[in-house]
Amino acid sequence: PAGVEHSRAHLEPFSENYFKHFNDLAFDKAIQAVIDFANLVNKNFNDNAPWNLKKLGKIDEMNQSLHETAESLRLIAILLLPFVPVSANKILDLLNIENSARDFAHLTHTLKAQHQINEPKAVFPRLESR
């Protein structure tokens, strides 16, 4: 889908920085590249407002936005696997990604248009104040 290509185009400069820093063992900078991409994904998600698209009956646009966001989250989780494997795997589980597709080699793959995700649940549960 076109949204996935848009997502991939946005990822490219971040992934170049990520792998440069990863290979240089500058892990803090590699993680920052992922955070920067995640911030862009979050901004795009809020700007696209799929909840409003649904209210307006723009179902194709809503699906495109949700698909692009799911694809971006898949990429983010794969990039974070070396640093936070438990949390990254929780995200990939929610996205219904096969264990065999959870490595850097699969960054070039994309989710199919009709990909089904699992029931959403918190990856980072809210902490209760004491």
At residue 9, the pLDDT reads 67
Q: Where are the domains of the chain?
A: 2-108
Total residues belonging to the chain:
130
At residue 57, the pLDDT reads 96
At residue 125, the pLDDT reads 78
Residues 6+ apart with CB under 8 A from 21: 27, 29, 30, 32, 33
SS3 for 84? coil
Class of domain 2-108: mainly alpha
Q: Which pLDDT tens digits describe the chain residue by residue (130 residues)?
A: 455 555 566 677 888 889 999 999 999 999 999 999 999 999 999 999 999 999 999 999 999 999 999 999 999 999 999 999 999 999 999 999 999 999 999 988 888 888 898 888 888 877 887 7
